[in-house]
Each structure stands twice: as structure tokens, then as C-alpha cells.
Amino acid sequence: MGVDISELVRNPGRRLPLHLVLEGSWSEGGMRTVDRIALDGEGFVQLGVLYVEGTVKGRVTEPCRRCLAPVTRSSERFEAFEVRIPAGEEAVDLESPLLRLILSALDPNVLCREDCRGLCPVCGANLNEEPDHVCHPPKEDRRTLGELLR
Ligand SMILES: [Zn+2]
Ligand SMILES: [Zn+2]
């Protein structure tokens, strides 16, 4: 669904306040989820293009790169961008450009905490939850098998 910008379209060149809150949740490949998208700024229309300037905010939840625990961060940055207005329309899709800006504002190497210990490479146990984890490869199974064959 597009955002109504008829007021801007009818007053080309004139800067008008642009406030937008998009409630919902947007998922990118099931890995990163963005919600609470907000834009607080102004815009103007010239020759079929909407120019926007303002503070773009969003909340991003994605898995920790080491242990996969969900990490939620807020993104807030001043942005200037433009969106082409489809011919004859008085609405534009601001969702996609805002999502893109929010995601690109955050460091992609997210960690749940600086010293996250990650997962055991053998069995996948979460080493934050089991700091004394010692992995035993399936030796016991072999012994059981040996007993069976005896
Ligand atoms: Zn982690
Ligand atoms: Zn293990």
C-alpha cells in the first residue's frame, strides 16, 4: 500500500512536513525482521520525483552471528532519499526505501553481547548457557555397539 502524497504532488517544489509511522512487521528472508518504522521530516515533489529528508527510525531483530539468539536493535539516522512517483499516481511506496535505509544503517555483524561464546561446533550446544560444556563425541554409542556384538 502506498503513502498518499497528493498534497505534495499538487504543490510541486513546496516543502511540506512528512510524518509517517508504519505499524507492522517486515521480514527479510526470514532472518531479519523490522518493525516500528517511522519517518519524521519533510519532502517535496519535482518532475515526478519525491525528495525526502528526515529522521528514519526502525527496530530490527535478527540472530546473533555466533549463537543465533535473537538480538533487537533500534536504528535511527538522518537520511535524504528520493522516490520516483509512478505516472499519474499520487501515492508512493515508502516502505521499501525505508526498510533498506534502516537495514543498511546497522552493522551486519550483530552479536548478542561482545563476549558471546557461540555454539559448540560439534553438538551445537549454546556455550553461553553451558560455560563448562565439554563435548563428548559419540564414544558411548560405540561402546554400546561393541557390547551388542560381543
Ligand atoms: Zn550470541
Ligand atoms: Zn558440544
Query: In tens digits, what is the pLDDT along the chain, a chain of 150 residues?
Result: 589 999 999 999 999 999 999 988 999 777 899 999 999 999 999 999 999 999 999 999 999 999 999 999 999 999 999 999 999 999 999 999 999 999 999 988 999 999 999 999 999 999 999 999 999 866 655 556 566 666
Structural domain including 91 reads 3-114
**Residues 25 and 92 grouped into a single domain:** yes
CA dist., res. 118 & res. 111, Å (int): 9
The pTM assigned to this predicted structure is 0.80
**How many angstroms is it from 58 CA to the middle of ligand 1?**
22
Beta-sheet pairing, 70-84 with 32-46: unpaired
Q: Are residues 105 and 138 in the same domain?
A: no
CA of 126 relative to ligand 1 center, distance in Å: 9
Q: Do 110 and 121 fall within a single domain? A: no
